[in-house]
Amino acid sequence: MKRPNRLPFCERILYGADYNPDQWLDDETVLLEDVALMRKINATSASIGIFSWTALEPSPGIYTFDWLDTTMDRFAKAGLKVFLATPTASKPMWLSELHPEIRRVGRDGRREPSGGRHNHCPTSPVYREAAQRINRELALRYGRHPSLALWHVGNEFNGECHCERCKGAFHDWLRRRYGSLGDLNRVWWTSFWNHTFTDWSQVPTFDQSIDGLTLDWLRFVNDQHVSFIENEMAPLRDLAPQVPCTTNFMGTNHTTNYWQWSRTLDCISNDIYPLHDDREDSWRKSLGSDFTHSLVRGFAGGNPWIMMECSPSSVNWGKVNKLKRPGVHLQEVLQAVANGADVVHYFQWRKGRGGFEKFHGAVIDHEGGSDSRVFKECAEVGRVLQTLSPVVGLSPSRAPVALVYDWEARWALEASAGPKRGTYGDRYTEACVEHFRALRSSGVEVDLVSTDADFSAYRMVVTPALYLLTDDTARRLAEFAAAGGAWVATYLTGYVDGNNRCWRGGFPGPCLREVFGLWNEEVDYLLDDERVRIQGSVFGAAGCTEATDIVERLHSEGAQTLATVASEFYAGSPIVLQNNWGLGKTVYVGARLAEEGYIGFYEHLAAKLGLPRLVLPRGVIRKTRIGADGPVDFLFNYTRHEAAIDLGEATFHRVSSGAACSGKTTLLPYDSLLSGALLPSNLRHTQNPTRSTQNELQPS
Ligand code: GAL
């Protein structure tokens, strides 16, 4: 889908929160205060009604829209916009009682109770029909309301259901995909452990020992959610076609292949909760957020997107829920804007008095007024965002390097017994985040793309742990290299095909031994405290680094060795290799390297390939949004320490104080600076900002 550069409802950066007036219907004063307080922080908008189905329809076909009418009108009068939610992320108790089949069934065959949320059966025709009915009512009543800006469809779609109906739908899905049971048995390799199916009815929804099944089940679950949301959007699009639809993503959530979702939604939204902990290495977490924002930017095709949820202070569900240190909140918000967010919304506007989230951060605390530290910070953020209107609709600059993030590779890897589990989250995402972080730390800009991307737009494509690799993707990547690009692949590349069956003829498959000029004979998985020494000039002055977790035993078959293993019984084997392929290059990194090793490696590669690079102190990042009026630079110190840099001729402004900075400058802990085009203190916007060049900023 070709997305417009501008979110149609954004004349300025929108600022607001999830708002739950339905929790306060017995206290009109609170509701009136809310709007006044929203204006006080320069809020523009709110997401309303996310879990409000029973408040809208207390019994079948009986609607109580009065409170929502009042809210919508109140918002219109105050000049506030509404992202109106369809309330389907949580089922009404009466509907669960009438139709127990809308409740999910777990792997153990047990039907879940109606409580919690995000737990409807995505296949149930009853639930699909009920969702359409309430959505139709909402579209009929509010589709032309002046405050309505966006449909917020459901909430964080997630999870899976193993009921008989889902099982039947899975069988139909498999029939469409494979045609015959014979073909299914073949691609799932079911003669292993006597798993051959002789009737469709025998195919389960879960069997860990059939890794092809696990992969297809995840594909099916994802498709089922996508078809559910398409079913939800049909009446909205029919009755209010001028209002775009979105749903809030969760970054790299396991069961949702958001590349696919992005094709069906009108605009892209994401929720993010970085859990900043103010530790020595918290800058790594901030780069992790940059990874997520870059991924979301990729979903949006490089165009502006919506940060639908983040916390204005702590959350309540972490192991430890720390308050954000001074500067962190503002920086996190600006970081999203720098990466293309044209909307900043919080979860949540006001803390509810009860329920699971009564201690979750909110703009308004239980005290109820505007005197709290968090409220004041939110007001400050609102003031700063108001000054940023010139960036609205501008795209973040296109990077010279693309990094592929692929749910299919992740699912296949997780479904396979053998490859070691990740230390945080899943092994696949861990590899992608580490390579992204190293590239950014070496000063190289990175876009995140899917396996379907047009690689020719990039100078270098990095595909960490692309464990599942189809013929088609392998061919397109090899063609990219042959045409003059550089393709960097890593350990765990090309082990299995699209059905999670190992490629024959030696890894990396399919047929990539020739492209990379090497053979990956076997893999050594290390104990947590084990390290393998690696040496090579590609690691800069140190000339060495360490490997953890995974070391492949590689043999060169024509590729040039850039680094070798220096300990263990396989000392001397090549571990980083480079091959000439057509007009370009392929590079293979056969081990999980220490961070400094990766950074040295990417510095080396960037120099060799002549990639543009901006060298800044560790944890200091610049991000640029480019548009018709020229570039706008954001400069962040993600560390808790001061950092010295030389801004050269460029003029930046410290966002917290508006003070102008140029030349040798000390960045404060968690500092955020904006380039001279935007002056936060006096809202001035120059029409022709000077373009920062690659070498203007230097560590001093
Ligand atoms: C999100 C969810 C919100 C709220 C928030 C708390 O995942 O969409 O409704 O629960 O988490 O951090």
Q: pLDDT (tens digit, 9 = 90+) per residue, 152-183? A: 999 999 999 999 999 999 999 999 999 999 99
Q: How confident is the model at residue 678 (pLDDT cuts 50, 70, 90)?
A: low
Atom number of ligand 1 nearest to Cα 156: 8
The residue whose CA is least distant from atom 12 of ligand 1 is: 315
Gap between the Cα atoms of 470 and 503, Å rounded: 10
Q: Is 557 a catalytic residue?
A: no
For residue 357, pLDDT beyond 90: yes
Q: How confident is the model at residue 694 (pLDDT cuts 50, 70, 90)?
A: very low
- This model's pTM is above 0.85: yes
Q: What is the mean pLDDT of residues 524-534?
A: 96
Please tell me whether residues 372 and 453 are part of one structural domain: no
Q: One of 57, 101, 156, 603 is an active-site residue; which one?
A: 156
Out of 44-53, 157-166, 434-443, 624-633, pick the least confident: 624-633
* CB of residue 155 inside a 6 A radius of ligand 1: yes
Nearest Cα to Cα of residue 687 among 672, 698, 676: 676
Helix axes 407-415, 427-441, angle to 10 degrees: 130
Q: Give the pairing of strands 486-490 and 460-463.
A: parallel
Please tell me whether residues 389 and 407 are part of one structural domain: no
* CB of residue 154 inside a 6 A radius of ligand 1: no
pLDDT at 397: 78
83 in any annotated domain:
no
pLDDT at 409: 98
Gap between the Cα atoms of 604 and 539, Å rounded: 7
* CB of residue 347 inside a 6 A radius of ligand 1: yes
pLDDT tens sequence across 108-153:
999 998 889 999 999 999 999 999 999 999 999 999 999 999 999 9
Report phi then psi at 376, rounded to 5: -65, -40
Q: What is the mean pLDDT of residues 341-360?
A: 97
For residue 329, pLDDT beyond 90: yes
pLDDT at 628: 65
Out of 212-226, 318-332, 383-397, 476-490, pick the least confident: 383-397
407 in any annotated domain:
yes
**How far are the Cα atoms of 38, 116, 272 from residue 311, in angstroms, in the given order?**
16, 21, 8
Q: What is the mean pLDDT of residues 214-238?
A: 98
424 in any annotated domain:
yes
Gap between the Cα atoms of 404 and 480, Å rounded: 14
**Alpha helical stretches, state H, 443-564:** 471-482, 512-516
Structural domain tally of the chain? Answer: 3
What's the 33 CA to ligand 1 centre distance in angstroms? 24
What's the 347 CA to ligand 1 centre distance in angstroms? 7
Radius of gyration of the chain (CA): 26
Q: One of 309, 377, 414, 445 is an active-site residue; which one?
A: 309
Q: What is the mean pLDDT of residues 18-36?
A: 97
What's the 346 CA to ligand 1 centre distance in angstroms? 10
pLDDT tens sequence across 582-621:
999 999 999 999 999 999 999 999 999 999 999 999 999 9
Q: What is the mean pLDDT of residues 64-90?
A: 98
Q: How confident is the model at residue 677 (pLDDT cuts 50, 70, 90)?
A: low
**At CB < 8 A and 24+ separation, what contacts does 236-240 make?**
236/86, 236/135, 236/138, 236/139, 236/143, 236/151, 236/153, 238/139, 239/136, 239/139, 239/140, 239/143, 240/139, 240/142, 240/143, 240/144, 240/148, 240/151
Domain boundary among 552, 580, 609: 609
Q: What is the mean pLDDT of residues 51-78?
A: 98
Q: How confident is the model at residue 1 (pLDDT cuts 50, 70, 90)?
A: low
Gap between the Cα atoms of 625 and 434, Å rounded: 24
Gap between the Cα atoms of 562 and 570, Å rounded: 16
* CB of residue 516 inside a 6 A radius of ligand 1: no
Please tell me whether residues 449 and 595 are part of one structural domain: yes
Please tell me whether residues 480 and 601 are part of one structural domain: yes
The residue whose CA is least distant from atom 9 of ligand 1 is: 347
Classify 152 as helix, strand or coil: strand
Could you give the maximum distance between any two Cα atoms of the chain, in Å? 76
What's the 690 CA to ligand 1 centre distance in angstroms? 41
pLDDT at 2: 60
Q: How confident is the model at residue 681 (pLDDT cuts 50, 70, 90)?
A: very low
Nearest Cα to Cα of residue 240 among 157, 135, 133, 130: 135
Q: How confident is the model at residue 59 (pLDDT cuts 50, 70, 90)?
A: very high
* CB of residue 315 inside a 6 A radius of ligand 1: yes
Domain boundary among 371, 393, 415: 393
Please tell me whether residues 374 and 466 are part of one structural domain: no
Q: What is the mean pLDDT of residues 218-235?
A: 98
Nearest Cα to Cα of residue 393 among 12, 108, 2: 12
pLDDT at 508: 98
302 in any annotated domain:
yes
How does 564-588 read in b/e, with b if 16+ C-beta sit within 10 Å?
A: bbbebebeebbbbbbbebeebbbbb
* CB of residue 19 inside a 6 A radius of ligand 1: no
Q: What is the mean pLDDT of residues 312-337?
A: 95
Please tell me whether residues 384 and 406 are part of one structural domain: no
For residue 695, pLDDT beyond 90: no
Q: Give yes or no for a contact between 111 and 104, defined as CB atoms under 8 angstroms apart.
A: yes
Give the H/E segment covering residue 591.
strand 591-593
Q: How confident is the model at residue 393 (pLDDT cuts 50, 70, 90)?
A: confident
pLDDT at 420: 80
pLDDT at 680: 45
Please tell me whether residues 558 and 480 are part of one structural domain: yes
Question: In this predicted model, which residue has the larger pLDDT, 682 or 447?
Answer: 447
Gap between the Cα atoms of 80 and 69, Å rounded: 14
Q: Is 309 a catalytic residue?
A: yes
Residue bearing tokens 């690799």: 469
Domain boundary among 393, 417, 438: 393
Q: 127: exposed, middle or buried (C-beta count within 10 Å: 0-12, 13-18, 19+)?
A: buried
Average pLDDT, the chain: 94
Q: Give yes or no for a contact between 471 and 510, defined as CB atoms under 8 angstroms apart.
A: yes
479 in any annotated domain:
yes
Nearest Cα to Cα of residue 592 among 444, 415, 427, 467: 427
- Which domain range does residue 286 map to? 270-393
Q: What is the mean pLDDT of residues 82-98?
A: 98
Please tell me whether residues 577 and 652 are part of one structural domain: no
For residue 551, pLDDT beyond 70: yes
Please tell me whether residues 574 and 634 are part of one structural domain: no
Please tell me whether residues 540 and 656 are part of one structural domain: no
Q: What is the mean pLDDT of residues 416-433?
A: 85
